[in-house]
A and B are shown apart, each in its own frame.
Chain A
Amino acid sequence: MSRQSLSLLKNLRSIATGSKIQTRSVTYMPRPGDGKPRPVTLIPGDGVGPLVTNAVEQVMEAMHAPVYFEPFEVHGDMKSLPAGLLESIKKNKVCLKGGLKTPVGGGVSSLNVNLRKELDLFASLVNCFNLPGLASRHENVDIVVIRENTEGEYAGLEHEVVPGVVESLKVITKFCSERIAKYAFEYAYLNNRKKVTAVHKANIMKLADGLFLESCQEVAKKYPSIAYNEIIVDNCCMQLVARPEQFDVMVTPNLYGNLVANTAAGIAGGTGVMPGGNVGAEYAVFEQGASAGNVGKDTTEEQKNANPVALLLSSAMMLRHLQFPSFADRLETAVKRVISEGKCRTEDLGGNSTTQEVVDAVIANLD
């Protein structure tokens, strides 16, 4: 009897969460040789980074996914990126990365930022959405934040004019604004999204944010099927916490995107479950979506209970990027099942599971 109800449950579950796969009517037709394993550069990183990247390695291995990793030891306190890393990413085109610690006020620039600049990963993408079964304060959140990643407030141009007076330059260029706007609309177009919202503060920074808006408006004209609107960043954050369902794809300059993505991640269930990555014309680096530079608390590292869900979902994005769609679907489905079952959750989601327990549960739920 119990066995019967168990199988019944399993059936129900697969209807509930796996229906997308079962109704797929068009098969992905690869080119001969597409099944050849692909190398992916791996940066375990600092803090909880190695824990969560290892989670991905385990799940990939359990799926027999056609990828293998080339690991590189990188730490946030290094003066520069280690030799061979950039070459590896340039060869492989794709990298998976844990967080790198950024020392505050130590005169060392953030390696997370350096990597984006060196590889010209101009777009950062974070998908913030409600996971079925995971309670949060808001429902119907499904927002993609696309953030300019190379200039703006992160230009790194600062100096002391006279003692006690410091200047920081925010640089906005037509070139970078245009390419991020193009990417945002292209993303919306390819993913059947209906609306792009540009986030700005052009009422105050009339020239800088004005240039950003102007670029978005020009690109918007080329996509008549996608709605376009603009919102001031402070109002945007207020709307996000009150009525997040109004947003779809958002395109932002550098700093605002950082704030908007974290706010959106917070309302949808936390940064521990939001996937994302950085992409440029040539390369892509996948990492935890929001708070990608976050290396976790010491206690999380000691107790080995960092949440691997964000990076697992980012890896699913990576698999799709590499054109392994059914591996991506399998991984995503397994993760979603574990979340909706609710038995195996890490501390940040109100559970008490370790990272390894979540990994084991995901592997057990693989189709």
Chain B
Amino acid sequence: MTMAAFIARRLIGNRSSQILGTSSSSSGAFISVSRAFFSSTTPIKATLFPGDGIGPEIAESVKQVFTAADVNMDWDEQFVGTEVDPRTNSFLTWENLESVRKNKVGLKGPMATPIGKGHRSLNLTLRKELNLYANVRPCYSLPGYKTRYDDVDLITIRENTEGEYSGLEHQVVKGVVESLKIITRKASMRVAEYAFLYAKTHGRKKVSAIHKANIMQKTDGLFLQCCDEVAKKYPEIYYEKVVIDNCCMMLVKNPALFDVLVMPNLYGDIISDLCAGLVGGLGLTPSMNIGEDGIALAEAVHGSAPDIAGKNLANPTALLLSGVMMLRHLKLNKQAEQIHSAIINTIAEGKYRTADLGGTSTTTDFTKAICDHL
């Protein structure tokens, strides 16, 4: 065994014990309990949005790896419409949304919103219509893939429905524009509760609430107040408040200081991308959106890379790891671990890497290597 693979295995060992430790949790806030009892012979129905650009290629990679790992999936493939659906005011059709509502789980490739006015962006439509209130992104250093930071292991949890993204803006007089940031108790409590529950069920030790309440005393103050209240219910989890600018500085100096971070919308957007930068970019970081009624939509957050679309060059890692998050959500921990290890080992081994990671492998070669590592 090469050294890198050895280290990789050790790291995974640590991680999997954390994750497997969650399976005994009885809390149903973000797991669809009914699915926990599926045997491997009953196919699991999940929505799949292959998406645009490189989307179909990397979605194909996920399908192959899942099949190789004996995950019995019944993918309900959904394609965005060619015209704006008047019912959703978006290229995403009502049927697209219904599929996720019905299946409760989904996996989504990158989508490019067509340019033009009079319709909502695809991601915004999904977030609003499915009430996807929390965006969860685990960020950890991949063993064997060297960046300037090799000690990252944190989770960012971002409020996804309000704040600076309310879309409420207007011109007061010529040359003066106002933009509204809305913070509500309901949305803040919801995301705070999710963050602490996540920390508890995933064996995490600390939750940091990120804010700028020294300046935005009322809005960010309300967010903090909600976090404070929820924190009291979890005395076993260390809770701290960190001002966003200080958080940026601490993250780039010593990311190991953080564990779980919970944030309002804009800060979450910025910090989650910053953290992705620490470990090698959006091509390597998985993401999952949590909605009300137990909906979970895992997604690759990188772009659709139209320049390399159809050339068999795309790196499917982010979508694969997102798929792993989806499996964990479905309590298929064994398969999730198996696939996760195979991805990590393939990257750590370094023989098969796509161009974005400095290799020369094609998407299909990389996918095959992962299947061989299962």
B144 within 8 A of A: no
Residue in A168, A171, A263, A293 whose CB lies within 8 Å of B216: A168
Q: A158-B217, A173-B177, A174-B175 are in contact. Are A237 and B165 (CB under 8 A)?
A: no
Number of chain B residues close to chain A: CB under 8 A? 54
- A209, closest chain B residue (CB): B179
B1 within 8 A of A: no
The reply to whether B245 and A154 form a contact with Cβ atoms under 8 Å apart is no
Q: A171-B178, A204-B164, A262-B246 are in contact. Are A238 and B218 (CB under 8 A)?
A: no
Residue in B171, B176, B213, B266 whose CB lies within 8 Å of A105: B213
The reply to whether A165 and B185 form a contact with Cβ atoms under 8 Å apart is yes
A311 to chain B, nearest CB (A): 17
Number of chain A residues close to chain B: CB under 8 A? 60
The reply to whether A262 and B281 form a contact with Cβ atoms under 8 Å apart is no
The reply to whether B218 and A169 form a contact with Cβ atoms under 8 Å apart is no
- A162, closest chain B residue (CB): B184
Q: How far is the CA of A113 from the CA of B215 in the complex (A)?
A: 9
Q: A158-B217, A159-B218, A166-B184 are in contact. Are A208 and B252 (CB under 8 A)?
A: no
Residue in B170, B217, B248, B282 whose CB lies within 8 Å of A237: B248
Q: Which A residues touch B219, using CB under 8 A?
A: 158, 166-168
Q: Which B residues touch A261, using CB under 8 A?
A: 245
Q: Which B residues touch A113, using CB under 8 A?
A: 215
Contact code string A192-219 (vs B, CB < 8 Å = 1, else 0): 0000000001001111101100000000
Residue in A138, A208, A265 whose CB lies within 8 Å of B179: A208
Q: Which A residues touch B179, using CB under 8 A?
A: 169-172, 205, 207-208
A300 to chain B, nearest CB (A): 14
B99 to chain A, nearest CB (A): 27
Q: Which B residues touch A107, using CB under 8 A?
A: 217
Q: Which B residues touch A172, using CB under 8 A?
A: 176-177, 179
B240 to chain A, nearest CB (A): 13
- B175, closest chain A residue (CB): A174
A89 to chain B, nearest CB (A): 22
A361 to chain B, nearest CB (A): 24
Q: Which A residues touch B282, using CB under 8 A?
A: 238
A295 to chain B, nearest CB (A): 12
- B271, closest chain A residue (CB): A237
B112 within 8 A of A: no
Q: How far is the CA of A137 from the CA of B251 in the complex (A)?
A: 12
Q: A137-B148, A170-B179 are in contact. Are A259 and B217 (CB under 8 A)?
A: no
